[in-house]
């Protein structure tokens, strides 16, 4: 038998693995066996598909749907349905209790914040201050996500005011300056503006100097970045904590050199902590 004839003779067709190329089959088994191999593969595939369809049909025939009538007739199903209903009701109650607790906590922070002289609505963002006012009054139904946002914003602002108070205590400016949450900054600005227009030359000069020192110190405080930038989840920026430090330093009648030294010491302390 010639070599050509041997290529067409095989005792059994080769197995065809997935993704086997036709040219590979031709090389290993010969062109004459190609049709036989493909035919057997198709038969095997068809049989597998038939078995799967039979299995799926058998499973579908065994699937049953429990109706309301079945529940009423079956004591086990009835108890299960009652247990599920009770669990759902308990979850609703817990969710409502959580929302009420979240609302009360946010409202308590809102009352403390609005009592801390936060300034006009434009100073803290009109929309934010309106929402805080509505939270206190209780005339609006807030969703859980809104309550969580307001609670985070209020907690951040209250914390920053406490930090401003702590920073002044650390710098030891030599005067008893009110805590940030007790200091009315708007009143201070209005007083300085009024004194600058005073007919009394000494009062007007002192007010101008005080405002000039304020502007210089504000630039230094901004440069040192004593307060971390708020993320978008913590609401719009709040200038009051910075302003509390900036106002306190001119009131202490410190020189510009003394102010710079105290701010540098504060920056060093914050970096260590």
Domain ranges of the chain: 3-62, 76-272
Q: What is the pLDDT of residue 96?
A: 64
Instruction: Inform me whether the pLDDT recorded for 223 exceeds 90.
Output: no
- CA distance from start to end of the chain: 92
- pLDDT computed for residue 10 by the predictor: 45
pLDDT tens-digit readout, 180-220:
999 998 899 999 999 999 999 999 998 998 888 888 888 88
Q: Report the predicted TM-score, pTM, of the whole model to 2 decimal places.
A: 0.61
Q: Is 9 helix (H, G, I), strand (E, B) or coil?
A: coil
d(CA 8, CA 197): 113
Query: What is the torsional sign of CA 21, 27, 31, 35?
Result: negative
Cα–Cα distance, 240 to 225 (Å, whole number): 14
pLDDT band at 18 (very low <50, low <70, confident <90, very high): low
pLDDT of residue 196: 93
The CA distance from 90 to 153, in Å, is 31
Return the number of other C-beta atoms located less than 10 Å from residue 105's C-beta.
Answer: 14
Residue located via tokens 């009315």: 184
């Amino acid at each position: 038998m010639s070599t050509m004839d041997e290529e067409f003779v095989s005792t059994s067709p080769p197995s065809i693995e997935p993704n086997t190329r036709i040219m590979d089959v031709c090389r290993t088994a010969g062109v004459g066996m190609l049709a036989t191999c493909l035919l057997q593969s198709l038969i095997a595939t068809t049989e597998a598909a038939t078995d799967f369809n039979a299995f799926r049909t058998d499973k579908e025939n065994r699937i049953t749907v429990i109706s309301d009538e079945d529940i009423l007739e079956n004591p086990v199903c009835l108890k299960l349905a009652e247990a599920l209903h009770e669990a759902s009701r308990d979850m609703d109650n817990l969710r409502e209790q959580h929302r009420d607790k979240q609302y009360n906590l946010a409202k308590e922070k809102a009352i403390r914040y609005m009592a801390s002289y936060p300034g006009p609505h434009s100073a803290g963002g009109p929309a934010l201050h309106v929402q805080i006012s509505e939270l206190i009054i209780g005339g609006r139904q807030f969703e859980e996500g809104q309550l969580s946002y307001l609670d985070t914003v209020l907690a951040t602002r209250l914390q920053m005011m406490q930090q401003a108070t702590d920073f002044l205590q650390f710098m030891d400016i030599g005067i008893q300056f009110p805590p940030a949450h007790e200091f009315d900054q708007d009143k201070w600005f209005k007083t300085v503006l009024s004194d600058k227009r005073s007919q009394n030359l000494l009062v007007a000069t002192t007010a101008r100097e005080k405002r000039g020192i304020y502007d210089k110190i504000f630039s230094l405080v901004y440069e040192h970045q004593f307060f971390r930038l708020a993320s978008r989840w913590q609401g719009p920026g709040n200038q009051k904590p910075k302003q509390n430090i900036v106002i306190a330093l001119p009131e202490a009648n410190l020189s510009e050199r003394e102010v710079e030294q105290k701010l540098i010491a504060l920056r060093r302390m914050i970096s260590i902590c």
